């Protein structure tokens, strides 16, 4: 069976099940007797096992099966949950994660059997039951047990294919098969009692054996099998030139199959079966109607593929979401972008029109088009928005592991996991946040002894808070640890020749802390797998700035440090203020603008040779964009148009020539055309077809 078409679904759903397992195991450590959590873990493991088996990933299936066995013992109150078990289960999750990564990379789970982990699982069960540990991992026991039960259940009568009564069409099909030189085998397949999708398993068996021949008889009928109108076994006849052992082995290779019994149908057995139809006519009357379907198993198989998910339709909640490839969303976004450009073009044309009463209808249609495109843009953006929960839900496990590795007591609290961001932003924010959390755990928090001496709780507190603020999402990561020793940072910077002693004396705390974000600047006293405050912070800054965001640091020695990450909601379409500098047009994101002022030239003051203005109690530095952009200067008018932009608590005033107005713009990447200029974050196409550059004001503040 070609299962490659289901690979993407398998990867997505497996990742969800693994995350569910991780979350539940984490909560189980705090509440070891919570039956609901135990049952949830068992269900997730069972689903993952079935999916892996269906896709043919035997190693993944085997490991998950043994995990399931451990939880079966926990459910039965034979094993108590403790830290040793939690550690072992997390080892299993790491191994399953590795299998899944291999599947993503090469559509194959790899060759690692994880025998040591499987042995540990089996030894854990054996120890709990007072048995001697096994010497080596064995095959999944459930299949053997079910097989033994199936065989013992009916003694010698398990060969149910021998009791099949044939109709005329089936007899003709068998005779034709024998005339062609093939053998006819009868097989009875037993399904494990706990199997949830019997029809799916039967379909997979049929697909497996059809590689060796043609199925010519089904009992029950193919339609009844498809509708799951059978118990835990079904039988069929197959015409084949291959050995029976190969066919049985292929059928047994399907997951959740307990046993397969088979044999060749002899002429004597066939003669006995054909004599009975007249007497059995009332019973077998419906058989001819299903016979045509039985000779063509492939269509039934296709129906089965649709049938399995159809069962979920009974639960309305499962129809609330649809999986959509991100490339399809990108294509939709590109179409919306083109529509907005076309709308801007029409608006530009209408503004050049005389605006007479005769054109009133035209202007009304332009306004209507503006409303439609704005609503369409908002709808598409909502589709692209996903909660950051998908990124942050792996952090509690990481902090637990760091707590044990570093031998520090610590806890993580998170709020705002349901805060939404554009999918492209969410996919890339995970690594920077992970760096910040690891630094808080390693170099931020003190040891339990030091914390006790300082009158703090022995358990360090790390937090991650997310919330929306205007057109931005704010994510705060911090701790109640030691804080950053700015004097030590200064000394390190002087030692490395980054700054001079004279420069160090005049630096503010904020400037000193910003040294930590320089490439390869580290305060770690020794190199470890986790390292210390500073390692990775340059990666954090570059990663966040690449997303159009920024990061700020607040710290107090002895009390802790908080990193504030500010990110735009989206990177595709934004509201912007269009400005003119000489004859060139530029766009400034509206979200970064605080206000616009008309400043007399006489109000400009100087602080350390820097132009500043005093505005409502704040001293704001002026930035002349013509100088920054290397545009030919001109004589100042009496009043300057100044756009006040902000980044966190910092502000700056951008001097521009003219204001064009607010406009919805589409951000187009410049790729490698302007690679070294961080001031330009992209470009947009205006309504008249002109290109305008988008200024990244974060680089100016």
25-39 pLDDT, tens digit per residue, is 888 888 888 888 888
Q: Which of 40, 68, 170, 664 is catalytic?
A: 68
Q: Are 631 and 584 in contact (CB under 8 A)?
A: yes
Q: Cis link prior to 220 (omega < 30° from 0)?
A: yes
pLDDT tens by residue, 218-244: 888 877 887 777 888 899 999 888 888
* Helix %, strand %, coil % of the chain (to 5): 50, 20, 30
- The C-alpha atoms of residue 37 and residue 27 are separated, in whole angstroms, by 8
Q: Are 490 and 403 in contact (CB under 8 A)?
A: no
pTM of the predicted model over 0.85: no
439 annotated active-site: yes
- The C-alpha atoms of residue 249 and residue 233 are separated, in whole angstroms, by 17
Buried-exposed string 29-40: b where 16+ CB fall within 10 A, e elsewhere: beebeeeebbeb
Q: Which of 439, 472, 482, 698 is catalytic?
A: 439
Structure tokens at 527: 């190199």
The tokens 């800054």 sit on which residue?
Answer: 541
Q: Which of 46, 65, 377, 443 is catalytic?
A: 46
Check pLDDT > 50 for residue 317: no
Check pLDDT > 70 for residue 632: yes
pLDDT band at 643 (very low <50, low <70, confident <90, very high): very high
Check pLDDT > 80 for residue 458: yes
pLDDT band at 562 (very low <50, low <70, confident <90, very high): very high
461 annotated active-site: no
102: how many CB neighbours lie within 10 A of its CB?
18
pLDDT tens by residue, 399-451: 988 888 888 889 999 999 888 888 778 878 888 898 899 888 888 888 888 88
DSSP state of 160: G
- Reference 562, options 572, 551, 571, 573; nearest CA is 551
């Amino acid at each position: 069976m070609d299962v490659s078409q289901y690979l993407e679904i398998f990867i997505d759903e497996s990742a969800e099940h693994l995350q569910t397992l991780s979350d539940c195991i984490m909560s189980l450590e705090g509440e070891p007797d919570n039956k609901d959590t135990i049952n949830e873990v068992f269900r997730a493991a069972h689903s993952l096992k079935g999916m892996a088996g269906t896709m043919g990933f035997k190693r993944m299936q085997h490991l998950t099966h043994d995990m399931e066995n451990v939880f079966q013992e926990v459910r039965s109150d034979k094993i108590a949950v403790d830290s040793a078990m939690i550690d072992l289960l997390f080892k299993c999750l790491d191994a399953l994660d590795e299998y899944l990564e291999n599947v993503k990379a090469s559509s194959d789970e790899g060759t690692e059997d994880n025998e040591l982990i499987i042995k540990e699982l089996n030894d854990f069960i054996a120890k709990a039951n007072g048995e001697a540990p096994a010497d080596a991992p064995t095959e999944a026991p459930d299949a053997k047990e079910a097989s033994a039960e199936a065989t013992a259940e009916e003694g010698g009568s398990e060969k149910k294919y021998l009791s099949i009564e044939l109709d005329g069409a089936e007899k003709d099909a068998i005779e034709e098969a024998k005339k062609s030189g093939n053998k006819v085998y009868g097989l009875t397949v037993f399904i494990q009692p706990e199997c949830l999708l019997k029809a799916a398993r039967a379909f997979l068996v049929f697909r497996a054996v059809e590689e060796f021949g043609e199925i010519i008889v089904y009992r029950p009928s193919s339609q009844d099998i498809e509708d799951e109108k059978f118990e835990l076994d079904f039988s069929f006849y197959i015409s084949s030139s291959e050995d029976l052992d190969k066919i049985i082995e292929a059928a047994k290779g399907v997951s959740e199959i307990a046993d397969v019994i088979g044999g060749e149908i002899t002429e004597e057995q066939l003669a006995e079966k054909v004599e009975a139809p007249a007497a059995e006519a009332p019973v077998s009357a419906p058989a001819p109607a299903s016979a045509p379907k039985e000779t063509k198993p492939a269509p039934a198989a296709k129906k089965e593929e649709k049938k399995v998910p159809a069962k979920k339709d009974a639960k309305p909640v499962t129809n609330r979401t649809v999986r959509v490839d991100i490339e399809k969303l990108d294509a939709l976004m590109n179409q919306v972008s083109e529509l907005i450009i076309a709308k801007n073009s029409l608006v530009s044309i209408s503004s050049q029109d005389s605006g007479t009463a005769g054109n009133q209808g035209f202007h009304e249609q332009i306004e209507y088009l503006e409303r439609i495109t704005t609503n369409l843009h908002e709808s598409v953006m909502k589709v692209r928005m996903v909660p950051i929960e998908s990124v942050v839900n792996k952090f509690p496990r990481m902090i637990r592991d760091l707590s044990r590795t570093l031998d520090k007591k610590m806890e993580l609290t998170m709020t705002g996991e349901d805060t939404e961001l554009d999918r492209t932003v969410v996919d890339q924010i995970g690594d920077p946040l992970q760096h910040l959390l690891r630094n808080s755990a390693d170099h931020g928090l003190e040891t339990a002894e030091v914390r006790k001496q300082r009158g703090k709780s022995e358990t360090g507190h790390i937090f991650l808070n997310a919330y929306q603020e205007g057109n931005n999402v704010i994510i705060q990561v911090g701790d109640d640890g030691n804080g950053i020793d700015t004097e030590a940072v200064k000394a390190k910077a002087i030692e490395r020749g980054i700054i001079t002693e004279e420069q160090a004396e005049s630096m503010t705390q904020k400037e000193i802390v910003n040294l930590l974000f320089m490439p390869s600047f580290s305060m770690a006293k020794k190199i470890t797998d986790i390292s210390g405050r500073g390692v990775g912070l340059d990666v954090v800054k570059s990663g966040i700035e690449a997303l159009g965001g920024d990061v700020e640091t607040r710290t107090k020695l002895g009390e802790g440090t908080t990193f504030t990450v500010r990110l735009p909601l989206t990177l595709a379409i934004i509201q912007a203020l269009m400005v003119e500098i000489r004859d060139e047009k530029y766009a400034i994101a509206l979200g970064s603008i605080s206000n616009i002022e008309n400043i007399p030239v006489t109000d400009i003051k100087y602080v350390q040779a820097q132009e500043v203005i005093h505005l409502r109690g704040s001293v704001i530095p002026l930035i002349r964009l013509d100088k920054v952009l290397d545009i030919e200067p001109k004589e100042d008018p009496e009043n300057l148009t100044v756009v006040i932009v902000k980044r966190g608590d910092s502000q700056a005033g951008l001097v521009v020539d003219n204001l064009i107005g607010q406009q919805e713009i589409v951000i187009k990447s410049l790729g490698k055309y302007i690679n070294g200029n961080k001031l330009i974050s992209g470009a947009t196409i205006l309504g008249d077809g002109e290109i305008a550059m988008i200024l990244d004001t974060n680089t100016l503040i």
